[in-house]
Structure 1
Amino acid sequence: MLALLVDDDEIALAMLEHTLQRSGFDVITASNGREALDILRQQTADPQQPRVQLVVSDWDMPGLTGLELCRAVRSGEFEHYIYFVLLTSHRGNDEIVQGLAAGADDFIVKPFHPPELILRVRAGERILGLETRDVTIFALARLAESRDTDTGEHLERVQKYCGCLAKYLLERQMFPNEIDREFIHLIQQTSPLHDIGKVGIPDAILLKPGRFTPEEFEVMKRHTTIGADTLQAALDKYPTAKFLRMARNIALTHHEKYDGTGYPQGLAGNDIPLCGRIVAVADVYDALTTKRVYKDAFPHEQAVQMIGEQAGRHFDPLIVDAFLACANALREISETQRPDPVQSSYEIAYQQQRAVAPAAG
């Protein structure tokens, strides 16, 4: 685990570094809150860099205090959870409440006792181990994606689109009773499971290089209920798991339409869970801007126009408003999350089939 240690006192910083390194932790250091925040942002910008999972920060520092650094970490800017320990001489209840409100996970009173520091950091390490849940979720999503090679980096893009839209909706307080920081984390975490039910669709239909017949489309539509039933079984065993509840709702409702003409239940308006309404926009935008064996990718501008025209019909008008406001950010995600344009085996087979078809006729 990589820990970031932050203190403007050189001696205290050296003691922290020595204590954690002796216990086997990888550490990097910063001499103030601003430097620490820059380090975290640089890591986010470069996926190849190892991610800081734990921060131990002094409270009182010039420029950007430990409390302010903690608030910045909890702002939603960082996709992975960072365990935050405040190192402080503040002992009063008011200060503890202030630190917890800022998002601190734990406190250590200065001067710190090295064995206590290690025990508290180990406790944070155990809690961070729960984040392997995210890896499991994404592995399950990849299982569905692995059966459809046309989807490429579809899951990552939809995940980022959903996070972008949800953050905008929170900033504008467009759904104040539903969207908070936890909602943003959950929708980013669970949106890759929207098509998990595709594991139950026969290859002859799932991998068909062309449009479905009405009968085939009825089979394809079942991926929503297959996915929801699978996740509901897990939810029955762990009823307090919020991420499973959201994942089930997304799998079931991401093909519902705001005017009630979608599937599988024909839900309309606010009867469709908000997470499903957000994923619906993200999923369709990615489908429009992605090349398939049976169609070329639509230009970004055309895709944006098409989604805008479906406000109040296919999509929630408020989410379309957010989509239009975030269009440039979504285009950047789309362009940077595309794999190299290598043909899949299905594209090659489809083109060969098209080439020999006239001779056969």
Structure 2
Amino acid sequence: MDILVADDDYSTTETLRNALEAFGYDVTVARDGTEAYQYLRTGQFRLFISDWEMPGMTGLELCREVRSRHIGGYIYLILLTSYSSMEDVVQGLEAGADDFITKPFNPSELLVRVRAGERILGLESRELTIFALAKLAESRDQETGAHLERMREYARILAEELAQTDEFGEIVDGDYINLLHLTTPLHDIGKVAIPDSILLKPGRLTRQEFEVMKTHTTLGAKTLTEVATHHPNASYLEMARDIALTHHERVDGQGYPNGLRGDQIPLCGRITALADVYDALTSKRVYKDAYSHDVAKAITLRNSGSHFDPEIVQAFLRCESHFLDVKSHFEDFCLVH
């Protein structure tokens, strides 16, 4: 990550530079507030450490200017100051600062505060990346909008239920559930590469067309892998890739693209498979009417141990009322909108 440091005191900036570079960061130094503002306008820097008192523009003035102009993406602002009273802290926060480092600073404290900023910026980048990719898939398939919202809720419900079991409790924690909810909308991202003549065909696909359609799993995984190469710290894309690749696998090995069996299929793929199929069954399509919950439930039960992981089917049965709540919520939402 590139970090911008602004301070008119040479010894302070060099101490900051040396400490940050020792931690592996790339550092650019501005000698006053005006120079710092010009650097920030380039959009290159997402994390900025500024002295409180500087010529040109003070740290507080920089904070206010950055927040008022919304320069690029969110910029995490750390004020470096000898002020430590509650009034000073309040003033800095009101100006838009995210954190403070008191002079003289300890390198270990500096690292902790910078990494806290990285985590927050990483959350924003994660949300933006996933939203952009999901909207890309949605733009190709007119039926995906509400489907994405419903199935991510179904997946979350299943994961929360599995978290209470002995078999999956160690795997499915709060972070896992949040990542699953975040990344399931990318399950069909590979459909952006499927020709309209196949993707939007109103009737049943021919065998040859279906073979082309099946490639959306590998194409989606490839797309997400390529995105991950440009965002090496975005580990959440690993789950997104696994979901895209395996959500059409079956526990009996008769799925695609790789014919994986049972636990060979990542848990996120097994959860998404049930959530995806349930929503497809209970939704109206150009080639079919929506099935009732009871019919979809019967089909799900019939496919336990063949298409679906039996443990996940049992979790579905224990929380089916929550599925109905989600289904009803989005039906009401569509009526209002």
- Structure of higher CA gyration radius: 2
In the alignment, structure 1 segments of 5+ residues that lack a partner are: 1-22, 25-110, 343-361
2:281/2:296 contact within 8 Å kept: yes
Amino acid at match of 1:219: V
Give the CA deviation at 1:217.
Answer: 0.2
Are 1:115 and 2:88 an aligned pair? yes
Amino acid at match of 2:187: H
Amino acid at match of 1:141: A
1:190/1:246 contact within 8 Å kept: yes
2:271/2:312 contact within 8 Å kept: yes
Per the alignment, residue 206 of structure 1 pairs with 199
Amino acid at match of 2:238: R
Q: Indicate which of 208, 211, 235 corresponds to 1:215.
A: 208
Q: Indicate which of 291, 302, 305 corresponds to 1:309.
A: 302
Q: Indicate which of 105, 129, 137 corresponds to 1:136.
A: 129
CA distance in 1, matches of 2:278, 2:298: 10
> What are the superposed Cα offsets for residues 323-352 of structure 1, whole Å, 9 maximum, x if unpaired?
11111101110121135379xxxxxxxxxx
Per the alignment, residue 340 of structure 1 pairs with 334
Give the CA deviation at 1:242.
Answer: 2.2
Amino acid at match of 1:159: R
Sort the Cα spacing of 1:239 and 1:298 in 2 relative to 1 into closer, same or farther, 3 A.
Answer: same
Amino acid at match of 1:226: L
> What are the superposed Cα offsets for residues 52-78 of structure 1, whole Å, 9 maximum, x if unpaired?
xxxxxxxxxxxxxxxxxxxxxxxxxxx
Sort the Cα spacing of 1:263 and 1:112 in 2 relative to 1 into closer, same or farther, 3 A.
Answer: farther
2:218/2:257 contact within 8 Å kept: yes
Give the CA deviation at 1:145.
Answer: 1.6
Count of residue pairs the alignment pairs up? 234
CA distance in 1, matches of 2:153, 2:180: 10
Larger CA deviation: 138-147 vs 243-252: 138-147
Per the alignment, residue 274 of structure 1 pairs with 267
> What are the superposed Cα offsets for residues 194-223 of structure 1, whole Å, 9 maximum, x if unpaired?
000000000000000011000000000010
2:163/2:171 contact within 8 Å kept: no
Give the CA deviation at 1:239.
Answer: 4.3
1:256/1:272 contact within 8 Å kept: yes
Per the alignment, residue 165 of structure 2 pairs with 172
Give the CA deviation at 1:147.
Answer: 1.4
CA distance in 1, matches of 2:193, 2:160: 33
CA distance in 2, matches of 1:156, 1:121: 34
> What are the superposed Cα offsets for residues 253-274 of structure 1, whole Å, 9 maximum, x if unpaired?
0000000000000000000000
1:228/1:249 contact within 8 Å kept: yes
Q: Which secondary structure state, in structure 1, belongs to the residue aligned with residue 334 of structure 2? A: coil
Amino acid at match of 2:266: P
CA distance in 2, matches of 1:148, 1:247: 19
Give the CA deviation at 1:172.
Answer: 2.6
Sort the Cα spacing of 1:314 and 1:165 in 2 relative to 1 into closer, same or farther, 3 A.
Answer: same
Q: Which secondary structure state, in structure 1, belongs to the residue aligned with residue 205 of structure 2? A: coil
2:163/2:170 contact within 8 Å kept: no
Report percent identity of matched pairs.
51
CA distance in 1, matches of 2:131, 2:303: 30
CA distance in 1, matches of 2:233, 2:294: 42
Sort the Cα spacing of 1:276 and 1:116 in 2 relative to 1 into closer, same or farther, 3 A.
Answer: same
Sort the Cα spacing of 1:260 and 1:188 in 2 relative to 1 into closer, same or farther, 3 A.
Answer: same
Structure 2 counterparts to residues 81-160 of structure 1, below 5 A: 113-116=86-89, 118=92, 122-123=98-99, 127-132=119-124, 133-160=126-153
2:203/2:287 contact within 8 Å kept: yes
> What are the superposed Cα offsets for residues 210-254 of structure 1, whole Å, 9 maximum, x if unpaired?
110000000000100010001111223444432110000000000
CA distance in 2, matches of 1:121, 1:331: 44
Larger CA deviation: 167-176 vs 116-125: 116-125
Sort the Cα spacing of 1:163 and 1:172 in 2 relative to 1 into closer, same or farther, 3 A.
Answer: same
2:156/2:180 contact within 8 Å kept: yes
Per the alignment, residue 190 of structure 1 pairs with 183
1:174/1:318 contact within 8 Å kept: no
In the alignment, structure 2 segments of 5+ residues that lack a partner are: 1-62, 65-83, 100-115
Q: Which secondary structure state, in structure 2, belongs to the residue aligned with residue 337 of structure 1? A: helix
| TM value normalised by structure 2 | 0.64
